[in-house]
Chain A
Amino acid sequence: MSDLETRLAAALHADAPPARDVRFRIEALVRLEQARFRRRVFVSVLIAAVVAVAAAVSGTALDVRIADVQRIGIVGAVAMVALLALLARPGGIRTLWRAVDRWLYS
């Protein structure tokens, strides 16, 4: 290796980050936690919105003889099952969910 090549190699490898960097690792973990928190909040809000919409739509269609508590329970359970079924279904909804997930982590 010529002198110029040796100098080039030394200059290219100068100022490299350390092999172990605890601060960087912690910062990356903090970002991950923030993204996961955003995701959890988003999922909670989404579920709440679905349940609210389902309750509003189907509440009027249910028999008025069913007690209010029972009605909310039934509508909530149906909405949850519908949401879980949609998320588990391969294809459209799942792809959409992944896209939202990526956006939340970006």
Chain B
Amino acid sequence: MSDDDVALVGAIRNGSELAFNTLVDRHQQAVRTFLRRLLGNDADADDMAQETFLAAWTHARSFRGEATVRAWLCGIAWRKAKGAQRSWARRRSRDTAHHEQQAAATVTGATIEDRLAVRRALQALPLEQRAAVTLCLVCGFSHSEAADILGAALGTVKSHVQRGRERLLKAIEGSA
């Protein structure tokens, strides 16, 4: 765990805006990536990521240093996403076509077909499985870190990741 990150949270507890700035700068990519994959809607995900950082400011005292700051932030994000699941799931089903178009328009290393196939397959996974796959395969957390973040058993997370990965690979295979 980075001592620097722990010091940042300590400074946030004392009301340092500068520390908050640095925390956002340092971890926004991980939190946003996690939420974007989880929610399937970039705008909703970014909105929830901001709420996550605001909650980190308010709940800075709840950080006990048992996990990394990044894992703690993703834990907050996960609880927020789970709590608001019904509302964003409804919006997602309405906006799917638009977001797929948006995703296809962005130029990256992967082909458009692969990205759309993975996006659809990921959204078809159950929420907890999707979260486990995203944390381990996209955000680079270990299985035990993901288990802590999700508040799930280690075995459950391992099986979620394995099954999810198989489904994503099948989707990629089918997109060729």
Contact = CB atoms under 8 A, between A and B. Distances in A.
Contacts of B17: 29, 32
A8 interface: yes
Interface of B: 17, 20-21, 24-25, 28-29, 32-33, 36-37, 46, 49-51, 53-55, 57-59, 103, 106, 108-111, 114-115, 117-119, 137-138, 165, 168-169, 172-173
Please classify the interface of chain A as helix (H, G, I), strand (E, B), loop, or mixed, using the class held by over half of its residues: helix
A29 B21 contact: yes
B110 A28 contact: no
Contacts of A4: 169, 172-173
A21 B108 CA distance: 18
Contacts of A105: 54-55, 57-58
A14 B29 CA distance: 13
Describe B's contact surface by its main secondary structure.
helix
Identify which of A10, A18, A20 gathers the most chain B CB atoms within 10 Å of its CB: A10
Contacts of A35: 54
8 cross-chain pairs, A with B, having the tightest CB-CB distances, nearest first: A10-B110, A14-B108, A11-B118, A11-B110, A11-B114, A105-B58, A17-B32, A14-B110
A14 B118 CA distance: 10
Contact of B58 (A5, A14, A18, A101): A101
Among the interface residues A11, A14, A25, A27, which one has the most CB atoms of the partner chain B within 10 A? A11
A65 interface: no
